[in-house]
């Protein structure tokens, strides 16, 4: 019995040398905006076209990574203008909830622990001018990676909670949680 234990301890020490080193890495903060069309009671989502021309299989709320010189609110305003081509009503932006996502992934033999903080807000567009569902017809800009909004989608809260749209596109779990939180708060 003691010989077996000693054998296992030696093997575990040997395995420890095979594990990649661990490195902590903090990613930028993200901002996301829930935009609910008051006429249809559905939420606006965007689908990106990547720089290589392929379409993302995920749809997401409007938002992105906060730049170092920006406040969270400045980042939301910039992202809405870039991704939707419209503006948020003054004084309509409300903090909703914050999620932190920690993941481990191996990069070049080093195990990296990444942490991403996602700040969700709720707001309304100027004059409630929501873009039509389908291919983008408004003036949108590419992000730094060359991605741009290609399609606008509208989903009900029930569709979002099933984590998949009727078109088979995936929705991130943090978005489901933010929508449930929003509905519970009754904005």
- What pLDDT, on the 0 to 100 scale, is given for residue 72? 94
CB count within 10 Å of CB 113 equals 13
- What pLDDT, on the 0 to 100 scale, is given for residue 67? 92
- What pLDDT, on the 0 to 100 scale, is given for residue 15? 47
Continuous segment of H or E residues that includes residue 110: strand 110-123
Cα–Cα distance measured from residue 175 to residue 63, given in angstroms and rounded to the nearest whole number: 12
Spatial CB neighbours of 11, under 8 Å, sequence gap ≥ 6: none
* Residue-range domains of the chain with CATH: 27-92+119-185 (3.90.79.10)
In contact, 159 and 167? CB cutoff 8 Å: no
- What pLDDT, on the 0 to 100 scale, is given for residue 12? 47
Cα–Cα distance measured from residue 88 to residue 160, given in angstroms and rounded to the nearest whole number: 23
- What pLDDT, on the 0 to 100 scale, is given for residue 31? 94
Residues of the chain scoring pLDDT < 50 = 4, 7, 11-16, 19-20
């Amino acid at each position: 019995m003691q010989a077996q234990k000693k054998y296992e301890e030696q093997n575990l020490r040997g395995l420890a040398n095979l594990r990649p080193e661990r490195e902590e890495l903090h990613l930028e903060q993200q901002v996301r905006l829930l935009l609910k069309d008051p006429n249809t009671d559905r939420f606006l989502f965007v689908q990106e076209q990547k720089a290589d021309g392929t379409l993302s299989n995920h749809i997401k709320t409007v938002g992105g990574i906060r730049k170092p010189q920006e406040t969270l609110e400045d980042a939301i305003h910039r992202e809405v203008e870039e991704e939707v081509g419209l503006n948020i009503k003054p004084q309509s932006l409300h903090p909703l909830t914050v999620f932190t996502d920690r993941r481990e992934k191996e990069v070049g033999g080093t195990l990296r622990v990444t942490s991403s903080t996602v700040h969700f807000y709720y707001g309304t567009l100027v004059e409630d001018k929501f873009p039509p569902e389908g291919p983008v017809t408004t003036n949108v800009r590419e992000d730094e990676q060359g991605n741009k909004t290609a399609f606008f989608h509208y989903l009900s809260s029930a569709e979002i909670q099933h984590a998949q749209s009727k078109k088979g596109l995936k929705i991130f779990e943090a978005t489901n949680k933010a929508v449930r939180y929003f509905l519970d708060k009754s904005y």
